[in-house]
Amino acid sequence: MIGLWLPVAVLMAAIYYGATVPDVPPPIGDWFSDTVLHAGAYTVMALLTLRATAKACWTGVTRGTMIAAFVISMLHGVSVEWIQMYVPTRFAEWRDVWNDAAGAALGLGAAWAWGIMRRQSHDL
């Protein structure tokens, strides 16, 4: 159980840390836009959370585990923006929450599509 949720917890902590530092380090801020950073982080977050909710088994990937992964990811994203309201040099923005949601949906959509392709290849 710990092995399933530890990667999720580590990524969540890393995002919290990155969200609370006063300034985004120049190489990261220069190489990637804010939109790409949010979407990318939450693509990974949703996939790791799906892995945990499905108990690392493709047969465990259900509509319920996908919804749970999305909701957990989005609760984290909203909490990050809430925390940023109290960091003097950072801003809480709804646009960031939408980018988080887009990234999570992208990751879960990719997992759903992969599951369909995987099932079809086993049926051949």
* Domain limits, the chain: 2-123
How much is the pLDDT for 104? 98
pLDDT, residue 23, reads 75
Cα–Cα distance measured from residue 104 to residue 110, given in angstroms and rounded to the nearest whole number: 10
Residue 89 — pLDDT band, cuts 50, 70, 90? confident
Chain segment 6-48, per-residue pLDDT in tens: 999 999 999 999 889 887 666 665 667 888 989 999 999 999 9
Higher pLDDT, 102 or 122: 102
The token pair that represents 25 in the structure block:
């380090």
Residues in the chain: 124
Question: Which DSSP symbol is given to 17?
Answer: H
Q: How far is CA 79 from CA 83, 84, 93, 119, in A?
A: 6, 9, 12, 36
CA distance 15 to 53: 20
pLDDT of residue 79: 97
- Percent share of the chain, pLDDT over 70: 91
pLDDT at 80: 96
